[in-house]
Structure 1
């Protein structure tokens, strides 16, 4: 039987529980964010899409103000985080949730990181969509891409770095 072989996640989870940092509060599954999740899941009629935008604005008004973030990607980010945005203490927490945070893959004297293949793939897709939009249309991101390309960085590496800079917290009370 093959299972998860990465020892970092279970050790980090156990440490968080033992230190008291992990509260274990589950997603409440009610409220505006749950409605966004249901509408995203239903997606059978275009009329449902029109209902997502006001709910996203209600749950996280500043999220839609970010360049490249539309109702669909914002809705996915909210659905992934759930009705308890306090769980998302930092951008790093969301990057782990979405499976885009690098994890150590060192051996001997070689120190490197590899992509984390775990996580919420739909959240990862939303982040990827935002990054692609920014790489194509946002002047600041285009300047970044040009500069980093000259430094020898691939677009895939730049995309991963950009995911870390996207805010995740809801501003809902």
Structure 2
């Protein structure tokens, strides 16, 4: 039985998706990042974060990084009530990756879940508590990338600690 053109197109797209996934996995592994060690970040989200953030040193602080990811809340006050809302600024793809991380942490027994539950107990709605958690996770990702960068710099040439540019075998 012959495939219809639509089925053939879908199969071709599936192969392209598999290839892209494989390429992203290889790039993340080659980068040496430890982002995948964080609860809620798998290889594809780690690749998205690395690609969209670029060098972590371009951000002066965790707050600047959070603003870029769209997880820094915006105060919207009315009278005596002080509330914060989602910032529509920032990279929505990065925000999505952090949202996925937050949802994963809430569903497991993690410090993120405990933080979320404390915020809920303090009277915040689900959305408000989730926003707070995403902001905190943005800081966690920032610190992890700084740690990765420091480890990479300490490793020396070629990414290996103790490596030198000159060879002692030649002379």
Deviation of residue 112 (structure 1)? Answer: 4.0
> Higher helix proportion, which one?
2
**2:86 maps to which residue?**
115
**1:81 maps to which residue?**
53
Q: Name which of 36, 39, 44 aligns with 1:67.
A: 39
1:35-114 mapped onto 2 (5 Å cutoff): 44-82=16-54, 84-106=55-77, 111-114=82-85
1:120/1:53 CA distance change after superposition, 3 Å: same
1:134-153 mapped onto 2 (5 Å cutoff): 134-153=105-124
**2:131 maps to which residue?**
160
Structure 1: 5+ residue stretches without partners? 1-42
CA RMSD of superposed structures (Å): 2.4
Structure 2: 5+ residue stretches without partners? 1-14, 154-171
How many Å separate the matches in 2 of 1:148 and 1:163? 12
**1:10 maps to which residue?**
none
**2:9 maps to which residue?**
none
TM norm structure 2 = 0.64
**1:133 maps to which residue?**
104
TM norm structure 1 = 0.63
SS in structure 2 at match of 1:49? helix
Larger radius of gyration: 2
1:156/1:77 CA distance change after superposition, 3 Å: same
How many Å separate the matches in 2 of 1:118 and 1:49? 28
Equivalences, count: 130
Deviation of residue 108 (structure 1)? Answer: 6.3
